[in-house]
Amino acid sequence: MPTVLALETSCDESAAAVVRDQRPLASAVATQMEEHARFGGVVPEIASRRHVEALPQLIEQVMAESGLGFADLDAIAATVTPGLVGALLVGSVTARTLARLHGLPFLGVHHLEGHLCSVHLGEPLPPGPFLVLLVSGGHSELIRVDGPGAYSRLARSRDDAAGEAFDKVARLLQLGYPGGPAIQAAAVGGQADRFPLPKGRVSLPTGGFHPYDFSFSGLKTAMVRLVAEQQRQADGAGTTLPVADLAASFEQVVAEVLVERTCRCAKDQGLETLVLVGGVAANRRLRSLLAARCQTLGLGWRAAPLAYCTDNAAMVGVAAEQRLLAGGHSAIELAVAPRWPLEDALALYGRPNPF
């Protein structure tokens, strides 16, 4: 099996890993969360600078922990799309430079394909096809996977991704950044059914609603109004804002929306297995609700291991390994792009370069 050094720098996590046979021989992540938390979100210029500072040490670390030298590698990979352009460039330029220096193939990996492959770092999957719920800071999508590299997007968020909604509501409740872990912690002991909240739906031009697509902007607006009203009541009564109940009610409705539409899509598609990946996949309430619903419906499910839900290089390495086994590699001149359709990920390994 091929051995790949993989780099991930699409946003605010600097990561490197050495992967062989869908298993990390070594994996390391340098987080920037504390620095960006001061601003309530990721500052692209700061993220790029921190990648430049962190990546050399991370590469040295994973190579040492794997016990391998560059002569033992079969390829070098890096995320090239989607993401912050400056951040992507740091990982891409580093990977392409190392590939040239050591005469190795370079693979530019689609970030979402990395997340799809993160589930392989856990328990073995049953044979496909299967349906993936990918939920992260920038993406909420339902993707049918018929095999390595064979993807069909069946649903998406039409506005905020679930992770973005968590960040915005956490900021509203003054819980800090990133919002997902902050809300999960604040919701412990909260009454999840205290505040009824809307499950946003997406209208169809011909009438009715899209059966699977997500919308969280209405929920965010409802939370703004609810928090304002609860604050007025608390001020009038001389009490404090019921943060735990607000956080739990919000977390519950997001989990319900994601699970209900995912299971409906799987049933309509005749798919028997669901896969949960992405940063929001680490949420305990979401995992618990999905497990319960799948048991009721007779569906199987898998989730990426908690250590590989958020951005990491091991998942990039698994995606690169699959592409390498299929005979693919990228041109050394391949650049980076802030957006690129997952369905067109194969173009990253063809000619001419897509960007």
| Other CB atoms within 10 Å distance of the CB of residue 31 | 16
Residue 25 DSSP SS3: strand
> According to CATH, what is the number of the domain 3-116+309-349?
3.30.420.40
pTM over 0.85: yes
The ranges of the chain annotated as CATH 3.30.420.40 are: 3-116+309-349, 125-303
| Residue 61 · residue 26 · CB < 8 Å | yes
C-alpha count within 13 angstroms, C-beta hemisphere, residue 350: 6
Tokens of 135: 């939920």
DSSP 307: G
Q: Coil, strand, or helix at residue 83?
A: coil
SS3 content of the chain, % helix, strand, coil (to 5): 50, 20, 30
Q: How do the pLDDT tens digits run along the chain, 355 residues long?
A: 899 999 999 998 999 999 999 999 999 999 887 788 787 778 888 989 999 999 999 999 999 999 999 999 999 999 999 999 999 999 999 999 999 999 999 999 999 999 999 999 998 887 779 999 999 888 899 999 998 889 999 999 999 899 999 999 999 999 988 899 999 999 999 999 999 999 999 988 888 899 999 999 999 999 999 999 999 999 999 999 999 999 999 999 999 999 999 999 999 999 999 999 999 999 999 999 999 999 999 999 999 999 999 999 999 999 999 999 999 999 999 999 999 999 999 999 988 999 9
- Burial class, 255, CB count within 10 angstroms (exposed 0-12 / middle 13-18 / buried 19+): buried
Q: Nearest-CA neighbor of 71 among 93, 98, 95? A: 98
Span 125-303: which CATH code?
A: 3.30.420.40
